[in-house]
Amino acid sequence: MTTKGKIITIASAGVIIILSLFIYFKFYFVFGEGVKAGELNFVVYKGYVFKTYEGKAIQAGFTKGAKNASTTIQSYEFEFSITDKALADSLMRCSGKTVELHYKEYLGALPWRGQQKYIVDDILAVR
């Protein structure tokens, strides 16, 4: 093999390795895990090509206004995807109830995994 061929082979291998690492860390590396609690607003099954389960939970919270202002109630929306059909079916029956959900956070979303980067993988409590 010539020197030019070796350089092309090494450069190609380097590009493939870098691209593989980027794809892994962007779409498959679990960046964070946690639990969120809130009132389950909805869970739907939607999509054009890839049908996925998507949901939203409303988290009520308090926020402090400007100086000498009173404290106000502010809600946060936790939008998530669900990959497990049985889990999604269970959550569909919990709409309007307060739920505690365990989730995994990815740095990017994949179309067949869902539209959100937060993937719910367990229901911890329903009240």
CA 125 to CA 116: how far, in whole Å? 22
Residue 47, classed as helix, strand or coil, is coil
Mean pLDDT of the chain: 92
DSSP summary character for residue 111: T
CA 107 to CA 115: how far, in whole Å? 12
pLDDT beneath 70: ranges in the chain = 63-70
Which has the closest alpha carbon to 103: 86, 89, 83, 85?
Answer: 83
Looking at residue 63, its pLDDT comes to 67
DSSP summary character for residue 67: T
Provide the residue type at 81 as one letter.
S
